[in-house]
Structure 1
C-alpha cells in the first residue's frame, strides 16, 4: 500500500512538473545553391540564412508569459557555424549567433527580452528590401549594420491599431583596467568605449507600412545609424522606398577593423572612418505561385579616413532582379541576378570587392522552412 501511494505521489509530482514546462517550438531554415560573382569561382552559398532554433512560452497567468529563444546560424554547404562577437569577447565565434534571450511578455504592456536579440534598425528597415538584405540582390549594407546584438535588453510595445514602438539598451564590454582583456583596453585607450541604444517607431496596417529608426552600437566610438522606410501595397504589387544614413567612426563592436576585410591603414594603423548615405527603391510583384523581386540601390560614401582614399565622395548603383517560385508553403526555388557599378576600384574595395569597379552576381538555389 505504501509503495502504491509513493508511486502515485511521484507520478503526481511528475505531472505537475510537465504541466509547468514551456510550450517549445523547434523551427529552422535550410537553404543553399550556387553563386557566381565577377572575379570569383562558382561557390555554394545561401540566400536566406540557415538556422535552427528553439522558442518557448510558458503561460504565467493574468495575461503574463515567460519566453525564451535560442538560435544557431550555420553554413549548410560545409556545416560551420556563423558568428562574430567583437573585441569584448576576444573575437570568439558566437555559438548562438541568431538569438539567445529570455524574457517576459504581457498582453497589456508588451514584451521585454534580455540577452542576444535582433538589432531594431536592421530588423525593421530590411523589410523594405524585396530581397530582405539577403543574397546577391540584397541592399548595400552599412558598415555599422549588426543583425543581432549581445548584452542587450529590448522592449517591444503592443500593436496599437498598426502603431508600434521598440527600444534597446546594450552594455559595452568590460573596460575596468584591473580585469579587462587587451582588446577592450585598446577600446578604452582609444576612447571608443560606450554603451549602445536604439529606438524604433513603426506603423503597419492595411496596405501602408512606415518605419523610422535611430541606433548607436556599443563600443563603436559613438558611431550611429538612422533610417526611414515606407511601403505601399496595391493588388499583387508592393512598392517600397528606404533611406539610411551612417556615421562610422571606425569601430565595430569594439573592433578597430571597423567591419572591413582590409582592416587598417598599415602606415597609420588607424581605423577606417566614413559617412554613408543609402537609398533603395524596391518592387515585389506576386506572379503565379511565386514573387518577382526588383530593386534599384544608390549609395554615396564620403569623408573616408584611414585608407588610401583619393578624391571626395564616391557613389555606386546596384540593380537587382529575382524570382522566387513556391513549390509548397515550405519549399521554394529561386534565381537572382544583380549588377553593382562602383565609382572606382577604391569604392569596390571599401565594400569588399577587391580590384573591381563593378560586380555581377548570379545566384540559384532552394529554400526549405520547417
Structure 2
C-alpha cells in the first residue's frame, strides 16, 4: 500500500468493526417532508405568497436492536416556501419541529429532546383544519391564548406547542386507548417566573368515535385544559373541541369552543369550522367575545399532492371584522 493511502490504526479498527456488525444493527433512515405554498390575502389586508400551512423537512430512523427493542431518532426543521427562510425568521432553533432520540418496545415509546408536548401532539386531531392552516384554523387563532408551552425557548420568544429539554412517552394502543406524557427535568425561565413543564393527554379512538382529554402546565405556571371529540359516519366527520387557557401570573383566561366538519366526495374533501372564544383580562370588567367561521376545499391529484382553497372570517370585540382567503398547493414526500 502506498504510504499516502495508509489509515491511522484507530480509523482502521473502526472500519473493520463496522464491516463485522450484524445486519440487525443497520438503521433504516427516511427522508420525508411536506411542501406547502400558495397565494393569500391575510387578515391584515396584506397580499402574500408563501406557506399557508406548514412546510418541513425531516430525517428519521429506526434501528432494530433485537428482542422487540428499537432505537429511533427524528430531526425535523420548518421553513417558509416563499423565501426559503427558516420559520420564525431566525428566532426559532434550526431543528424547530423536532430533535429527538428514543427507544421503542412493546411497552411504548420514550424519546428525549425537543418535540410537541403530549397535549399538543394530539389536540390538532379535533380541528377541521388540523391547527396548521393560518387562514382557516379556529384552533390556530382562538385556542391556547395565555398558555405557550414555553415562554422563552425560541431564543427568548414564546413557543406554542413544543417542549424543549423534554422526556416524552407514548403508550401502546390498549383497545383504542392511548396515553401520552411529557415533562422537562429542567426549570424553564421567563421574566419573573420559572418552573418545570408537564403535559398529558389520554385518547380513545375506536370505530366511529374519537375523544381526548389533555392538560398542560408550562414552566411559567400557565395552565391549559383541552377536550376534544369526533364522530365519523360514512364520508363525513363532526369535530368538537373545548379549551381553557389560564395565565399563571394573573387572572387572564380564555375559554374557546369550536365545532367543525369534513365531507369527502371522491378526491375532494370539504371542510368547515366555527369557533367562539370568551376572554377575560385581569382588571378589565366584562368578557370579550371573539368569533370565527371558516370553509375550505381540498382536491387530491394523487396520494401525495393536492390543491386547496381556504376562506376565514373573524369578528372580534372592539375590532373591525376581517376576512382572509387563499389558494395553495401541497406535496408530501
| Common fold: TM-score over 0.5 | yes
Q: Does 1:21 align with 2:26?
A: yes
Rounded Cα–Cα distance in structure 2 between residues aligned with 1:334 and 1:97: 26
The question of whether the paired residues in 2 share the 8 Å contact of 1:82 and 1:94 is answered with: no
Task: Name the CA distance, whole Å, in 2 between partners of 1:316 and 1:244.
Answer: 14
**Corresponding position of 2:155:** none
Tell me the CA shift for residue 232 of structure 1: 0.5
User: Does the 8 Å contact 1:58/1:67 carry over to 2?
Assistant: yes
CA–CA distance in structure 1, aligned partners of residues 286 and 174 of structure 2: 45
What does residue 126 of structure 1 align with? 124
1:34 and 1:42 in contact (8 A); partners too: yes
Is 1:209 equivalent to 2:210 in the alignment? yes
| Superposed CA offset, 1:182-212 (max 9, x none) | xx5x73xx2x111010111110111110100
Q: For each residue in 1:193-252, what CA deviation from the matched residue of structure 2 results, as whole angstroms up to 9, or x when unmatched?
A: 11010111110111110100000112x2x11101101100001000011100000236xx
What is the TM-score when the length of structure 2 is the normalising length? 0.86
1:358 corresponds to 2:321: yes
Deviations, residues 78-113 of structure 1 (Å, cap 9, x unaligned):
1111259xxxxxx95311001001111112x10100
1:1-370 superposed matches below 5 A = 13-17=17-21, 19=23, 20-82=25-87, 92-107=91-106, 109-135=107-133, 136-139=135-138, 140-143=142-145, 144-145=147-148, 146-173=160-187, 184=189, 187=191, 190=192, 192-218=193-219, 220=220, 222-249=221-248, 274-304=252-282, 311-345=285-319, 357-370=320-333
Query: C-alpha separation between the residues in 2 aligned to 1:207 and 1:47?
Result: 30
Where 1:125 maps in the other structure, the secondary structure is helix
Q: Is contact 2:50-2:83 (8 Å) kept?
A: no
TM superposition outliers: structure 1 runs of 4+ over 3 Å: 9-19, 171-174
State the SS of the aligned residue for 2:122: helix
Query: Residue 358 and residue 18 in structure 1: after superposition, are their counterparts in 2 closer, same or farther (change >3 A)?
Result: farther
Counterpart for residue 151 of structure 2: none
1:43 is displaced (CA, Å) by: 0.3
The CA deviation string for residues 243-266 of structure 1, in whole angstroms up to 9 with x for no partner, is 00000236xxxxxxxxxxxxxxxx
Whether the aligned pair in 2 keeps the contact of 1:319 and 1:340 (CA below 8 Å) is: yes
User: Cα RMSD (Å) of the superposition?
Assistant: 2.1
Tell me if structure 1 keeps the 8 A contact 2:314–2:323: yes
Q: Distance in 2 between matches of 1:284 and 1:103?
A: 35
CA contact (8 A) 2:128 2:273 kept: yes
Matched residue of 1:295: which SS? strand
Give the gaps of 5 or more residues in structure 1.
Answer: 1-8, 85-90, 175-183, 251-271, 346-356
Q: 2:4 — aligned with what?
A: none
Q: Within 1, Cα distance between the matches of 2:15 and 2:43? A: 65
Structure (1/2) with the larger strand percentage: 2
The 1:235/1:96 distance shift into structure 2, 3 A limit, reads same
The CA deviation at 1:288 is 2.1
- Contact 1:83–1:97 under 8 Å retained in 2: no
Normalising by structure 1, what TM-score? 0.77
Does the 8 Å contact 1:172/1:193 carry over to 2? no
Tell me if structure 2 keeps the 8 A contact 1:37–1:359: no
SS of the aligned residue for 2:19 comes to helix
In the TM superposition, residue 38 of structure 1 has moved relative to its aligned partner by: 4.2
Cα 1:147–1:332 shift into 2, 3 Å: same
Match of 1:269 in 2: none
Aligned residues: 304
Question: What SS is found at the alignment partner of 2:194?
Answer: coil
Residue 163 of structure 1 and its aligned partner are, at CA, apart by 0.5
DSSP 3-state at the match of 1:120: coil
